[in-house]
Amino acid sequence: MFDQQYLIKVANNTMPFGKYKGCVLMDIPEEYLLWFQRKGFPDNELGRLLALILEIKIQGAEFVLEPLRNSAKKYPSPTKAE
């Protein structure tokens, strides 16, 4: 079982690098998390948070995190440069 502070991190921390840099972890698309899982999550807290959000998304339980969210806006998906 995870404590509330850990779940708050999942609901509010942002991705520090890559395609979804600046995106709140819970807003990262499941497809990207699955790709990351295949490549290997980082061996640190960020990796554990990403693995947890993937499991939450697979189970369809994102609604559990909504009350823990700050009032920060959701980030849109990145667009490809033309």
CA pseudo-torsion sign 18, 76, 80, 29: positive
Q: Cα angle vertex 11, ends 6, 38, to 5°?
A: 85
Q: What is the pLDDT of residue 71?
A: 52
pLDDT in tens, 22-67: 999 989 999 999 999 999 999 999 999 999 999 999 999 888 788 8
pLDDT in tens, 21-30: 999 998 999 9
Q: What is the pLDDT of residue 47?
A: 93
Helix (H/G/I), strand (E/B), else coil: 69: coil
Question: Considering the entire predicted model, what is its pTM?
Answer: 0.76
Distances (CA, A) of 31 to 1, 49, 53: 25, 16, 12
